[in-house]
């Protein structure tokens, strides 16, 4: 399917072809016609599947005939609420790009920067507002926002919004909007909490779900290394020296782990940078910018810090720690092999993580290819029996001198 087969205005199609978007992604194919038909829609599709354009394109199309308000008489007709500043900026960029050949104006407001320029932009009049919850409520309280003409309300990255504790803010914001409006909710996953939120803010929604198997793994090579925990850094350096090239994201579970690995890689001469929740917004932005512009070729991240951030053209990802939530694995590897490009995902599994591999393999419905030919091999676990209890019991003893013996218990 081509974008030209969708009922979008020519000027939107023109901006798409300039942006080299030829084919709509699966989520875009399914969502765009529903939004154009003014339906309320709940969309679940993993990071990197193109959810932004799935709402931005039809919204621009719906507002197309309302772009030419008298000067200074523009009203906010679409509002996109998103959890982080990075996401707000990305969404604004998308709207601006796709509405290049229209008179529709978009602006983004978010915390951590001065209010004044944002107030000025709002005062000049805009059609589409992208906002983080806190700043939106601030501006509303101070009387700089009029949402009474709103027609379309979008909640983007809803799962992250809930994880970041924005649920009450989101409900408050929804109440500021007119009752009669079109509501769209986008999320990477739909946990129960989202269902609760959806019930309170969306009525009669149509659900679009793109399951991970449809979008993952087609172009992504997935390789699994079983090794002792203590050798993970060595294996990482070994692979960086001999096997992995290009832009790489390394995921770690903890902030401490991220910092420690960054130090090690820097000491070994790699151009590495990192993001996690203890770093300030401006430092995180700088890290992402450095990675995007290839000043740094390796980005080390925790899952939360990396969520929703659009980082494309990643050649490889390394699961330095195996995520305990299987969907996280799918999100992580979704960062490579995007948009038809092939990518590769390396996973380092130490004995205490064996059970995570099992849940991941059952989610993706296939075994991950095990690489045994590496410097720190241990055997892959033979039996698919539960090990949860033995894990904590033996964790300490593994550090003792008898650790080698104990290791046998793991596989
Ligand atoms: P999501 O919100 O699902 O995580 P994004 O909207 O951030 O995904 O899109 C991920 C990347 O894919 C972005 O760089 C975007 O520009 C690109 N992209 C989206 N749709 C298309 C398309 N139809 N063709 C080519 N690239 C696309
Ligand atoms: Mg998104």
CA of 33 to the centre of ligand 1 (A): 18
Give the list of residues 6+ apart from residue 156 with CB closer than 8 angstroms, or none: 51, 52, 55, 80, 81, 82, 87, 91, 186
CA of 391 to the centre of ligand 2 (A): 36
What is the reported pLDDT for 395? Answer: 38
Q: Which residues in the chain land under pLDDT 50?
A: 215, 384-411
Q: Domain 214-370: state its class.
A: alpha beta
3-state secondary structure string, 367-403? CCEECCCCCCCCCCCCCCCCCHHHHHHHHHHHCCCCH
Q: Do domains 3-210 and 214-370 have the same CATH topology?
A: yes
**Cα(379)–Cα(394) distance, rounded to whole angstroms?**
18
What is the reported pLDDT for 382? Answer: 66
CA of 153 to the centre of ligand 2 (A): 15
Q: Where is 318: in which H helix or E strand?
A: strand 316-319
CATH 3.40.50.300 given to domain 3-210: yes
Pick from 348, 355, 353: which is nearest to 384 by CA? 355
What is the reported pLDDT for 173? Answer: 96
Q: Which ligand is nearest to the CA of 156?
A: 2
Residue nearest to atom 19 of ligand 1 (CA): 50
17 lines ligand 1 (CB under 6 A): no
300: left (phi over 0), alpha (psi -120 to 50) or beta: beta
Asked if residue 277 lies in contact with residue 255, where contact means CB atoms within 8 angstroms, the answer is: yes
- Provide the residue ranges of all domains of the chain, joining segments of one domain with +: 3-210, 214-370
89 lines ligand 1 (CB under 6 A): no
C-alpha of 112 from chain center: 21
What is the reported pLDDT for 411? Answer: 25
53 lines ligand 1 (CB under 6 A): yes
339 lines ligand 1 (CB under 6 A): yes
Q: Where is 266: in which H helix or E strand?
A: helix 255-267
Point out which residues pair with 129 in neighbouring strands.
79, 107
Pocket test for ligand 1, best of 6, 209, 339 (most atoms within 8 A of CB): 339
Asked if residue 139 lies in contact with residue 74, where contact means CB atoms within 8 angstroms, the answer is: no
Provide the whole-model pTM: 0.64
What is the reported pLDDT for 264? Answer: 96
**Cα(338)–Cα(314) distance, rounded to whole angstroms?**
8
What is the reported pLDDT for 312? Answer: 64
CA 385 vs CA 48, 355, 389: distances in Å: 34, 9, 11
Tokens of 13: 């199609």
Cα dihedral 8/14/20/24 (nearest 10):
10
What is the reported pLDDT for 71? Answer: 61
């Amino acid at each position: 399917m081509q974008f030209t087969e969708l009922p979008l205005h020519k000027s939107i199609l023109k901006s798409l072809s300039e942006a080299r978007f030829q084919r709509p992604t699966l989520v875009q194919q399914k969502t765009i016609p529903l939004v154009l038909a003014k339906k309320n829609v709940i969309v679940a599709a993993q990071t990197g599947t193109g959810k932004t354009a799935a709402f931005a394109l039809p919204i621009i199309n719906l507002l197309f005939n309302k772009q030419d308000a008298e000067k200074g008489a523009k009203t906010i007709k679409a509002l996109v609420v998103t959890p982080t500043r990075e996401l707000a900026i990305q969404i604004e960029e998308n709207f601006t790009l796709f509405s290049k050949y229209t008179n529709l104006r978009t602006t983004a407001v978010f915390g951590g920067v001065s209010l004044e320029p944002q107030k000025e932009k709002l005062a000049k009049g805009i059609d589409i507002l992208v906002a983080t919850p806190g700043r939106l409520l601030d501006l509303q309280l101070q009387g700089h926002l009029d949402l009474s003409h709103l027609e379309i309300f979008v909640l983007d990255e809803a799962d992250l919004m809930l994880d970041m504790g924005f649920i009450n803010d989101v409900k408050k914001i929804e109440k500021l909007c007119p009752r009669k409006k079109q509501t769209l909710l986008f999320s990477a996953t739909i946990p129960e909490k989202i269902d609760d939120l959806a019930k309170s803010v969306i009525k009669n929604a149509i659900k679009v779900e793109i399951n991970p198997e449809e979008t993952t793994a087609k172009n992504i090579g997935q390789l699994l290394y079983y090794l002792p925990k203590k050798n993970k850094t060595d294996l990482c350096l070994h692979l960086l020296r001999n096997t992995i090239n290009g832009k790489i994201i390394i995921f770690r579970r903890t902030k401490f782990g991220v910092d420690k690995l960054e130090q090690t890689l820097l000491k070994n001469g790699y151009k590495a940078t990192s993001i996690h929740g203890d770093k300030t917004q401006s430092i995180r932005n700088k890290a992402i910018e450095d990675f995007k512009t290839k000043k740094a070729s390796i980005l080390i991240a925790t899952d939360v810090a990396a969520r929703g951030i659009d980082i494309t053209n990643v050649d490889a990802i390394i699961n330095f720690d195996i995520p305990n939530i299987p969907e996280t694995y799918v999100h992580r590897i979704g960062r490579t092999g995007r948009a038809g490009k092939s990518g590769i995902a390396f996973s380092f599994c130490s004995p205490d993580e064996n059970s995570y591999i099992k849940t991941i393999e059952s989610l993706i419905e296939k075994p991950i290819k095990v690489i045994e030919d590496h410097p720190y091999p241990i055997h892959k676990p033979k039996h698919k029996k539960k090990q949860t209890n033995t894990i904590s019991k033996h964790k300490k003893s593994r550090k003792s001198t008898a650790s080698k013996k104990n290791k046998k218990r793991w596989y």
